[in-house]
Structure 1
Amino acid sequence: IGPNAIGALQAAGVKVYTFPPGTPIKEAVEKVSKGEIPQPSEYPQPFQAPPQAPYPPQQPQVPPYYPPAPQPQAYYPPFPMPARPPIPEPPRHKDCIHYKNGKCEFWNLAVHADDPACPFFVPKNAPWRWW
């Protein structure tokens, strides 16, 4: 057994007998049972190092590597959004066949030429009998 194991066994109060290398186990057991304990001159005890003073923990020479944090993924729609068509300007009274001299002849009301036309708007450039 190694020196650490011998030291641990001795510290626990277990008697440890060492014999020269190559000694048969039967002879070693007979010698111990007869009381013939081997002398240190016969086979020296293993070297035991004196206890070491604990060293303060040292900082690592290279700082630890931390991988970069994952970046949030931007959301992209699966297909490009089509451009919204422009909203057409509503028709105006001035472009209606019912508008004459600031008046809607269909309703017989005074209207401004640039106001949005009424639901009965008929364009001036519509072909004859277009409805």
Structure 2
Amino acid sequence: MNIAEDELMVSVFSKDCPSRQVLMDISGRWGVLVLAALSQGKCRFNVLRRRIDGISEKMLSQTLLALRRDGLVDRFVENAVPPRVTYSLSPLGIAVAEKVNALITLLETEVPAFEKAWDDFER
């Protein structure tokens, strides 16, 4: 294959494109929130769980695992008893989190517009 053919194969709209799996991991119920929380700095599992209201331990574990697999989150284990595990964003995760945080800022800023749209829709 030549470069032009390879570039055509990279499309999130294609069911076989690897970018679609990463998009699903990021945009799933918890991925965006984990990235946003970690963009505030590295933290341990329970701190992260408390920061993200409503996430269960199981879902946080699964989300962190998926984001680690995608290369967005790093996991550091310190030799201690018990072992101390810290999570942080990788360089790629920082780049993605910047975009996620921009979206979050937009959404939070526009809450009144969303509430008006919801009210208008119900009429």
Q: Establish whether TM, by shorter chain, passes 0.5.
A: no
Greater per-residue strand proportion: 2
Q: Report the TM-score when normalising by structure 1.
A: 0.24
The normalised TM-score by structure 2 is 0.25
